[in-house]
Structure 1
Amino acid sequence: MFRQLKTYQIVVDVGGAGLFGLLAFYLELELGRDLPYNAVAAALLAVAMAAALAVRRLSPGLALGLAWCGAILQMVFERQPSPTDVAIFAVLYTTAAYGTRRVFWAGFASVIVGAITIATYLFAPSVHPLGRSGITTAVAILIAALFGLGLAWTTGALVRTGIRARENRRAQVAAEADTVAEQERVRIARDMHDVVAHSLAVVIAQADGARYAAAADPAAATAALGTISSTARAALSDVRLLLTQLRHSQGEGPQPTIADLEELYAQVRAAGVDLRVSVDPTPPGEPPAAVQLAVYRILQEALTNALRHGGPGPVHVWLSWRPDHVTLSVANARAATAPAEHSGRGHGLIGMRERAQLAGGWLDAGVDGETFVVRAAIPVGAAVTA
């Protein structure tokens, strides 16, 4: 029944209503000095209308009821219309602007009933000289009353529409912000998976190699430990960058590009993989950053899968940069005990597909005989700059 208002709004409404009540009492006393029960009628009418003004924003429904009480008192004491009646227009405005659905339509009904009541009351011969006028005057008074009361209610309805539009806009903006935040969390989770999975795969492979080579070839073990150290440091740096992005949303930080692929290939080769890369043709210019990131992350995940789950034999990478798209494929022998990740249903493969789709392309991964193959195509188009 009551709306949430700020303290200053309540103070303004109550203070303004108090001043209005004093002025209304004075005016009613002056205008009805020849009428019976003038002081009592003026006091009751001023109190009712001032109270309606005081609570018009706090409780539009209660204000409408008080305004009707004031109008009924005016008719009971057979008083003429006066400036005090301006409170009715303010109340009708607030019922349309801030009232509940019931109060909104109650205000609309009050416009019609009030206009008819005004016309009927003014044409009572004992109340007003207009009662001796013709029907044309009665209709004119009815239309004028409908126009005046309806204008106040319609203005409030327009304000209500504006308020609803702002609320809907705020809700839409909040929903869009939540969507963007969720997409950013998904992106960071995907990057975290790529960084950690690849780095750990290299570290594990190097650690196993160092353990087996420690006795026969200490130098190989030392080199493996150096690779483990550099890979772990790079992974730690990437993880810190991603965690910084979680804390601060101002910037995404530097992202891998195709210029970093050589370092990626070196890490994989250092893990003992016979990696064979073919790039034909080479990029005709500088591909868009989104395309470079997608290519890097897809290759990173595909090579990580080959390192973790692939069988013996070389790993082949083919890259073909066309003017409007880039195609890539990664093929490796499939281990007999390869898990679901290497059958097309793992989390890493899902992430690769998402990256390709977000870049406007596609990705397919599956078994082809004894080989596991990842194929992808990503559009480049006119975004390539020379």
Structure 2
Amino acid sequence: MAVRLPRPHRFDVYVAAGGLLGGVLLWAIGLGVRPADDPIVLFDGRWPLLLPLAVTAGCELLRRAAPRTAVLIGTAALVLDTMTQGSLITLLMYTDLGYAVVLYGSPATARRVPWIAGLLTVAATVVPFAVWRVPEALLVGVAVGVVTFAPASTGLIVRNHREAADAARLRAEQTALLAEMDRVQAVSAERARMARELHDMVANHLSAIAIHSTAALSLDDPATTRQALGVIRENSVEGLSEMRRLIGILRDTGGDTEPSAAPTLDGLGALVDGAHANGLDVTLDAAHGTDLPAPVELAAYRIVQESLTNALKHAAKGPVRVSLTRADGALHVRVTSPYGDPGAPRAPGSGAGLVGMRERAALLGGTFDAGPDGALWTVRAALPLDQGASS
């Protein structure tokens, strides 16, 4: 099976071509590293040095695509070059191969090559000095260090800088991604909160309007019709006022208009009076005490408000009882209404009210339950006071 060599990088082609042309130019003018009478020159003449030059230039084509193969073949070519008069360009290209194998090689290769080059440099320094016992022998180690250890160390430094830059860029991308996820979650949570507020503020008035308009249309009694139209007008005005307050909060123009304060349990009396005006027989038993956390008060108020709205839309005739008690570190809300055939036109429900009440309780770490209990429909909620204080 034929082995397909990787395609060289364009820059590597330029390096190989420039090295080969430069080496040929030096060869043409007769400039070599060693004189022809040097004892280590085994291949006399000028022609033999072209072979290691050509092989090293070919290795430059693989400096990025296959750096370990390139440096191994280049090492053999350098050994062959030392047996000739030698070429400076061959040495320079070999140093580039040592640099590239650390920069572009595998992590294991990048760790090992500098150690190997360092050991070779130490050996090339100690062994000749131990044999010849002359200071000039130390120059052999210096030459080996310049050719092997210096390029490998430079490649390792550049590689570490590139990896650090890549890691920083990755952290920045991850941070941006997390920030975007937080933004999306914050927007979703704010939309859910706005949906709950809008539903709780307006649903009561719209339900009363729907019920009384149905009664006015179905009964041929001028007095009843006039009374129903009065209730419809009152709920329309109040609903429109609350809608305007909500729109003002959303606009947040920063002018003199301040957003309306969140409702508290002190407003339960007015809420019950409104339910009486809409035809409900409501009894309020509030024993919740004082100094409740604001989130707990808001959640309890909205749960009672939505429960009365549901009673107006779905409950049969009979008393509706609202009870608030404080026990076991929580505010307990309980609303009961007659369960069964209302016997009169009622507004349809979407189920969003139960979902909103359950979400309000869950946000405070509390519990919520709603369902038939014999002849009654019972809404129960337990709102922890400590969770409300930390919200």
Asked whether the two chains share a fold, i.e. TM above 0.5, the reply is: yes
Identity of aligned residues (%): 24
Q: What SS class does the counterpart of residue 257 from structure 1 fall into?
A: coil
Matched, 1:278 2:285: yes
Instruction: Report the equivalent of 1:55.
Output: none
Q: What SS class does the counterpart of residue 205 from structure 2 fall into?
A: helix
Task: Decide whether the 8 Å contact of 2:71 with 2:101 is kept in 1.
Answer: no
Question: What's the RMSD between the two structures over aligned residues?
Answer: 5.3
Q: Look up the equivalent residue of 1:224 and give its one-letter code.
A: V
Task: Decide whether the 8 Å contact of 1:214 with 1:220 is kept in 2.
Answer: no
Task: Decide whether the 8 Å contact of 2:118 with 2:149 is kept in 1.
Answer: no
Cα distance in 2 for residues equivalent to 1:282 and 1:120: 85
Deviation at 1:72, TM superposition (A): 7.1
Task: Decide whether the 8 Å contact of 1:195 with 1:238 is kept in 2.
Answer: no
Matched, 1:236 2:240: no
Cα deviation digits, residues 2-56 of structure 1 (max 9, x gap): xxxxxxxxxxxx9xx99xx99xx89x97xx94346999x99x999x98x99xxxx
Deviation at 1:157, TM superposition (A): 3.6
Cα distance in 2 for residues equivalent to 1:262 and 1:34: 106
Instruction: Report the equivalent of 1:331.
Output: 336
Deviation at 1:354, TM superposition (A): 1.6
Match of 2:312 among 292, 307, 311: 307
Deviation at 1:370, TM superposition (A): 0.5
Query: For the structure 1 residues 383 and 308, does the alpha-carbon distance in structure 2 shift closer, same or farther, using more than 3 Å as the test?
Result: closer
Deviation at 1:262, TM superposition (A): 4.0
Matched, 1:225 2:223: no
Cα deviation digits, residues 47-80 of structure 1 (max 9, x gap): x98x99xxxxxxx955969996996798376456
Q: What SS class does the counterpart of residue 222 from structure 2 fall into?
A: coil
Matches within 5 A, 1:76-87: 78-79=86-87, 85=95
Query: For the structure 1 residues 231 and 349, does the alpha-carbon distance in structure 2 shift closer, same or farther, using more than 3 Å as the test?
Result: same
Task: Decide whether the 8 Å contact of 1:205 with 1:272 is kept in 2.
Answer: no
Cα distance in 2 for residues equivalent to 1:33 and 1:155: 38
Instruction: Report the equivalent of 2:32.
Output: 34
Q: What SS class does the counterpart of residue 216 from structure 1 fall into?
A: helix
Instruction: Report the equivalent of 1:341.
Output: none
**274-283 vs 317-326, greater mean Cα deviation:** 317-326
Cα distance in 2 for residues equivalent to 1:62 and 1:254: 68
Deviation at 1:187, TM superposition (A): 2.4
Scaled by the length of structure 2, the TM-score of the pair is: 0.62
Cα distance in 2 for residues equivalent to 1:265 and 1:254: 21
Deviation at 1:306, TM superposition (A): 0.8
Matched, 1:290 2:270: no
Match of 1:256 among 246, 251, 262: 262
Match of 1:198 among 200, 204, 216: 204
Instruction: Report the equivalent of 2:109.
Output: 109
Matches within 5 A, 1:150-165: 150-165=156-171
Q: Look up the equivalent residue of 1:162 and give its one-letter code.
A: A
Match of 1:371 among 350, 355, 376: 376
Q: What SS class does the counterpart of residue 311 from structure 1 fall into?
A: coil
Task: Decide whether the 8 Å contact of 1:257 with 1:289 is kept in 2.
Answer: no
Q: Look up the equivalent residue of 1:356 and give its one-letter code.
A: A
Query: For the structure 1 residues 185 and 90, does the alpha-carbon distance in structure 2 shift closer, same or farther, using more than 3 Å as the test?
Result: farther
Task: Decide whether the 8 Å contact of 2:325 with 2:331 is kept in 1.
Answer: yes
Scaled by the length of structure 1, the TM-score of the pair is: 0.62
Q: What SS class does the counterpart of residue 172 from structure 2 fall into?
A: helix
Q: Look up the equivalent residue of 1:220 and give its one-letter code.
A: Q
Query: For the structure 1 residues 84 and 317, does the alpha-carbon distance in structure 2 shift closer, same or farther, using more than 3 Å as the test?
Result: same
Instruction: Report the equivalent of 1:348.
Output: 353
Q: What SS class does the counterpart of residue 223 from structure 2 fall into?
A: coil
Cα distance in 1 for residues equivalent to 2:149 and 2:75: 21
Cα distance in 1 for residues equivalent to 2:331 and 2:361: 11
Deviation at 1:327, TM superposition (A): 1.6
Instruction: Report the equivalent of 1:99.
Output: none
> Which structure would you say has the larger Rg?
2
Task: Decide whether the 8 Å contact of 1:273 with 1:307 is kept in 2.
Answer: yes
Deviation at 1:371, TM superposition (A): 0.8
Matched, 1:267 2:277: no
Cα distance in 2 for residues equivalent to 1:337 and 1:61: 82
Unaligned runs of 5+ in 1: 2-13, 53-59, 96-104, 246-251, 339-344
Deviation at 1:154, TM superposition (A): 4.0
**364-373 vs 211-220, greater mean Cα deviation:** 211-220
Deviation at 1:358, TM superposition (A): 0.5
Cα distance in 1 for residues equivalent to 2:76 and 2:248: 74
Instruction: Report the equivalent of 1:166.
Output: 172
Query: For the structure 1 residues 217 and 353, does the alpha-carbon distance in structure 2 shift closer, same or farther, using more than 3 Å as the test?
Result: closer
Task: Decide whether the 8 Å contact of 1:256 with 1:293 is kept in 2.
Answer: yes
Deviation at 1:310, TM superposition (A): 0.5
Query: For the structure 1 residues 288 and 92, does the alpha-carbon distance in structure 2 shift closer, same or farther, using more than 3 Å as the test?
Result: farther
Instruction: Report the equivalent of 1:5.
Output: none
Q: What SS class does the counterpart of residue 318 from structure 2 fall into?
A: strand
Deviation at 1:257, TM superposition (A): 1.8
Deviation at 1:184, TM superposition (A): 2.3
**107-116 vs 159-168, greater mean Cα deviation:** 107-116
Cα distance in 2 for residues equivalent to 1:129 and 1:277: 98
Task: Decide whether the 8 Å contact of 1:210 with 1:225 is kept in 2.
Answer: no
Query: For the structure 1 residues 144 and 293, does the alpha-carbon distance in structure 2 shift closer, same or farther, using more than 3 Å as the test?
Result: same
Q: What SS class does the counterpart of residue 179 from structure 2 fall into?
A: helix
Q: Look up the equivalent residue of 1:370 and give its one-letter code.
A: A
Deviation at 1:372, TM superposition (A): 0.9
Cα deviation digits, residues 191-245 of structure 1 (max 9, x gap): 3333443232121123234444851356524422322321441353266358759
Deviation at 1:311, TM superposition (A): 0.7
Task: Decide whether the 8 Å contact of 1:312 with 1:335 is kept in 2.
Answer: no
Deviation at 1:312, TM superposition (A): 0.3
